[in-house]
Structure 1
Amino acid sequence: MHVKHLLLIATLALAACASNEPSDENLSEADLYRQAQSALDGKSYTNAVTKLKALESRYPFGRYAEQAQLELIYAYYKNGEPEAAKSAAERFIRLHPQHPSVDYAYYLKGLAAFDQDRGLMARFLPLEMSKRDPGAARDSYNEFARLTNRYPNSRYAPDAKQRMIYLRNVLAAYEVHVGNYYLKRNAYVSAANRGRYVVENFQETPAVGDGLALMVEAYQRLRLNDLADTSLAALKLNYPQHPSLVDGEFVPREKGDDERSWLAKATLGLIETDAPLPPGETRASQDVQRQFQDAEEALPEELKVDEPAKRSWWSRLTFGLFD
């Protein structure tokens, strides 16, 4: 028998088997829910999303409707769709504010925002979180804060509180990063204001020392000696090991106008003859990175997003289009 005949028979057999499988339209509510659970157990999250959406649309008042809505949040989150997960969580919270598991919806909404930066660019480029737009971090912090305030005894509250500490450090480190940018551009008033904002609003974060150092340098450049001396005294008292202090003396991060090259002055610091230290490379940002790793490792196994396998140079070059 020719190979093409064998292929034809195999194709017809597969088609016959597929035709015997009931379609979603013919499945009962219990069967749909069972298949959705099977897809979740098998980590087939795209298929799980399809089954759960079909279950909710076909049986909106069925016995599994609320559970399907809740598990749809989880399926979106595990499938790497943070926006869809947040929308599904918002919908569940709005429809079922008194549901026994509504705290889980708040928690997953916070996690979705927490992992939102882990998108396409973050997969292929080494981006530092303290230098990125803090919108997602702020959203995640707010969601975890709602969870801990409304449901302090929730089983998810302890983990949410730990993530809030990390997120607060991220937001503080971002303010330091912006302050260093202003300092580099000679915008000393703005740099001092950023430093003061960190000191006043982010106490007990690693960035407070960097905020004080920002204030010292900015006030020195502005020749506001009293404010500079006060900030320096606070820095020496509370952070004697800060990198800006060498043998007890303050060492400015940036060169003054009289020390900058003519090229740096003409381009407002955009082009330097000597490569400056990257803004944001501070002790605070290093601590934030370490805390992120700790928080990620503490995440329960069932909530961890599956990491992509190690990618080839061709995959990276084509952004994964030809994996």
Structure 2
Amino acid sequence: MQKKLSVVAATLVMLSLSACGVFSDKTDETKGWTASKLYSEATEELEGAHYERAIQLYERLESSYPFGTYAQQAQMQIAYAYYKSQDQAQALAAVERFIKLHPNHNNVDYMYYLRGLVNFNDQVGLLNFVYEQDVTERDPKATREAYAAFKQLVDKFPNSKYTPDARQRMRYLVNAMASYEVHVARYYYRRGAYLAAANRAMGIMDDYRDSPSIEEALFIMIRSYDKLGMTELRNDTERVFRLNYPNSKFLDEGKKAERHWWKFWSSK
């Protein structure tokens, strides 16, 4: 009896699956659609911000018509749709897939640019979060990856229409990374780790020479060397500081500067 029941159950499951398959086929509105229609409908969904549906249609297009320009364009649009839906992992995976499959595509420069945008958007707010949480709790990995992605675009496609914007974003990212390093150096100083603070600030001098953060990095070095009793290094650094920033808000008038500096930092 138990054996018969098992056979009946298995049969019912098979019939159920078969019915689902039939039902699915009957309700698949895209069945028989041309590549052009699939692309048009998917793009309409994308423009309407219906990203999940757009991705489904682009994927159907790619699977039904794997060869030709529509399939390649669908792959690019899938990456963009994931980017717009803020699915970073899927967007990056789609970008990497396209670059690997079509390294010589006429629009592959856009995919390099999109890779930068995906990482760039992930780090938006970097300059704000430091006022809300301990800066040592977050590693700006996405910032560095965004910079690296934009740099690849600039290096590989210097004449791309996306390169000017990539260069601007790179400048912003350099300043963001330098700002992060300044906050870490300040964190070390306030906790009495003067050597670590000086070394971190010196790293800013080496890695971010054109950043506005250089001014504060130099000042951190001055104060750190002073605390460490490294008089010669302190004096040398202060000479460089005064030469480059004669009107700095950090060094205005001796003791006043000290009070100003601590008031400025205590608000961070």
Fold shared, TM-score > 0.5 on shorter chain: yes
The letter of the residue matching 1:172 is A
1:92 is aligned to 98
Q: 1:231 deviation in Å? A: 0.8
2:19 is aligned to none
1:73 is aligned to 79
Q: 1:62 deviation in Å? A: 4.1
Q: Of the candidates 106, 116, 120, which is equivalent to residue 112 of structure 2?
A: 106
Q: 1:21 deviation in Å? A: 7.3
- Cα 1:242–1:162 change in 2 (3 A) is same
The question of whether the paired residues in 1 share the 8 Å contact of 2:130 and 2:183 is answered with no
Summarize deviations over 1:247-306 as a string: whole Å, max 9, x none.
367527888xxxxxxxxxxxxxxxxxx9x715xx4xxxxxxxxxxxxxxxxxxxxxxxxx
With the length of structure 2 as denominator, give the TM-score of the two structures: 0.80
- Which structure dedicates a bigger proportion of its chain to helix? 2
The question of whether the paired residues in 2 share the 8 Å contact of 1:82 and 1:115 is answered with no
SS in 2 for 1:246: coil
SS in 2 for 1:152: coil
Asked if 1:251 is matched to 2:239, the reply is no
| Higher RCO (CA 8 Å, separation ≥ 6 residues) | 1
Q: Of the candidates 50, 53, 58, which is equivalent to residue 59 of structure 2?
A: 53
The question of whether the paired residues in 1 share the 8 Å contact of 2:120 and 2:142 is answered with yes
The separation in 2 between residues aligned to 1:200 and 1:165, in whole angstroms, is 16
Q: 1:222 deviation in Å? A: 0.4
* Moved >4 Å (runs of 4+): 19-22, 128-132, 252-255
Q: 1:144 deviation in Å? A: 0.2
The question of whether the paired residues in 2 share the 8 Å contact of 1:173 and 1:207 is answered with yes
1:277 is aligned to 266
Stretch deviating more after TM superposition (197-206 or 46-55): 46-55
Gaps of 5+ in 1: 1-18, 256-273, 282-323
Q: Of the candidates 19, 29, 32, which is equivalent to residue 35 of structure 2?
A: 29
The letter of the residue matching 1:193 is N
The letter of the residue matching 1:277 is S
The letter of the residue matching 1:169 is N
2:17 is aligned to none
Structure whose alpha-carbon radius of gyration is higher = 2
1:152 is aligned to 158
2:89 is aligned to 83
1:240 is aligned to 246
Summarize deviations over 1:80-114 as a string: whole Å, max 9, x none.
22221111111111110000000000001100000
Asked if 1:143 is matched to 2:149, the reply is yes
- Cα 1:253–1:177 change in 2 (3 A) is farther
- Cα 1:101–1:93 change in 2 (3 A) is same
Identity of aligned residues (%): 39
2:129 is aligned to 127
Alignment of 1:1-20 (within 5 A): none
The separation in 2 between residues aligned to 1:254 and 1:185, in whole angstroms, is 16
The letter of the residue matching 2:175 is N
The letter of the residue matching 2:42 is A
SS in 2 for 1:54: helix
Give the alignment's Cα RMSD to 1 decimal. 2.6
With the length of structure 1 as denominator, give the TM-score of the two structures: 0.67
Q: 1:47 deviation in Å? A: 1.6
The separation in 1 between residues aligned to 2:95 and 2:259, in whole angstroms, is 48
The question of whether the paired residues in 2 share the 8 Å contact of 1:32 and 1:55 is answered with yes
1:304 is aligned to none
